[in-house]
């Protein structure tokens, strides 16, 4: 079985969907560690409740020294010996040092139809652009922010009167379907694109 570590910063609903799928049986992966850079992230208690080991690597004591933060994160990850790392609402920009160490075995979920809307405020930007469709993407992490090869996308309509929150709430349940599906494929060495609607 492939050992999976998950990086979070917040509520961890995508982390929960990944762990639940891995724990449902008939899965090529096991969740070995959930790491948060935010000490009081809600996802930590959820991971513990599912019996998954957790760790906190707070970025704040490192100030602007991203390399030092990432060195500590790498040290914690190396102890867990992951085969795959899933970023799931992990809200830190990664330097080339980190992506160079873990690239080729690291996935991320991003709440837009990449290559559109890399970065933040994706739902608001899709509304302001007048897009008819929006969604989320799972991609391999490379040195380019939100830029690696896309492995899956889930598409939802943008409806008249949508606010950012309403649209986010339409996308999130699709994230919870897409990410576990991509992880299963990826763990099996299958990088064909998954599209959900
Ligand atoms: C998700 O919508 C995820 O796509 C997004 O943050 C949310 C985390 O929710 N990620 C990013 O914006 C990455 N730049 P969760 O903690 O409940 O999974």
Distance of alpha carbon 193 from alpha carbon 187, whole angstroms: 14
Structure tokens at 103: 């690239």
Residue 106, Cβ neighbours under 10 Å: how many?
Answer: 23
Ligand 1 atom nearest 11 alpha carbon: 16
Task: Concatenate the DSSP letters of all residues of 73-142 into one string.
Answer: HHHHHHHH--SEEEESS---PPPHHHHHHHTTSEEEEESSSTTSS-SS-HHHHHHHTT-SEEEEEEEE--
Segment 107-133 mean pLDDT: 98
Mean pLDDT of 84-113: 98
Question: Taking each helix axis from N to C terminus, what angle separates 164-187 and 13-22, rounded to the nearest 10 degrees?
Answer: 30
Active-site amino acid positions: 110
Percent of residues, the chain, with pLDDT higher than 90: 99
- C-alpha–C-alpha distance, residues 36 and 95, integer Å: 17
Ligand 1 geometric centre to CA of 48 (Å): 20
Whole-number average pLDDT of the chain = 98
pLDDT of residue 73: 98
Q: Indicate whether 21 pLDDT > 90.
A: yes
Model pLDDT, residue 25: 86
Over residues 111-123, the mean pLDDT reads 98
Q: How far is the CA of 90 from the centre of ligand 1 (A)?
A: 7
Instruction: State yes or no: pLDDT of 132 exceeds 90.
Output: yes
Mean pLDDT, range 8-20, rounded to an integer: 99
CA 8 to chain centroid? 7
CA of 193 to the centre of ligand 1 (A): 20
Q: What number is the average pLDDT over the span 73-79?
A: 98
Q: What is the pLDDT of residue 111?
A: 98
Q: Is the pLDDT of residue 27 over 90?
A: yes
pLDDT of 52: 99
Average pLDDT, integer, range 62-67 = 97
| Protein residue with least CA distance to atom 16, ligand 1 | 12
Q: Is 14 annotated as a binding residue?
A: yes
List, chain by chain if needed, residues with CB within 6 Å of any ligand 1 atom. 8, 10-14, 43, 88-89, 91, 109-111, 136, 172, 175
The answer to whether residues 177 and 14 touch, using CB atoms and an 8 Å cutoff, is no
Q: What per-residue confidence (pLDDT) applies to 187?
A: 98
Average of per-residue pLDDT across 74-88 = 98
Section 66-76 average pLDDT: 98
Residue nearest to atom 5 of ligand 1 (CA): 89
Ligand 1 atom closest to the Cα of residue 8 is 16
C-alpha of 1 from chain center: 20
Q: Which helix (H) or strand (E) holds 63?
A: none
- Residues β-bridged to residue 107: 86, 140
Q: Residue 60: helix, strand or coil by DSSP? A: helix
Whether residue 159 has pLDDT greater than 90: yes
Q: pTM, whole model, 2 decimals?
A: 0.98
- Give the per-residue pLDDT at 128: 98
ipTM of this model? 0.99
Does the pLDDT value for residue 175 go beyond 90? yes
Distance 26 CA to ligand 1 centre (A): 26
CA distance 192 to 197: 17
């Amino acid at each position: 079985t492939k050992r999976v570590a998950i990086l979070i910063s917040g509520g961890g609903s995508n982390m929960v969907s990944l762990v639940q799928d891995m724990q449902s049986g008939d899965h090529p992966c096991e969740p070995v560690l959930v790491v948060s850079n935010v000490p009081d992230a809600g996802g930590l208690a959820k991971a513990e409740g599912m019996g998954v080991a957790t760790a906190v690597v707070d970025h704040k004591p490192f100030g602007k020294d991203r390399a030092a933060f990432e060195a500590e994160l790498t040290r914690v990850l190396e102890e867990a010996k992951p085969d795959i790392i899933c970023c799931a609402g992990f809200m830190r920009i990664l330097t080339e040092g980190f992506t160079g160490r873990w690239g080729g075995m690291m996935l991320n979920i991003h709440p837009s139809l990449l290559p559109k809307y890399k970065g933040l405020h994706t739902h608001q930007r899709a509304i302001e652009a007048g897009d008819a469709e929006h969604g989320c993407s799972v991609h391999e992490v490379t040195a380019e922010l939100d830029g690696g090869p896309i492995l899956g996308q889930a598409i939802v309509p943008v409806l008249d009167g949508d606010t950012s929150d309403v649209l986010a709430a339409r996308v999130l349940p699709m994230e919870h379907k897409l990410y576990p599906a991509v992880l299963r494929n990826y763990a099996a060495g299958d990088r064909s694109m998954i599209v959900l609607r």
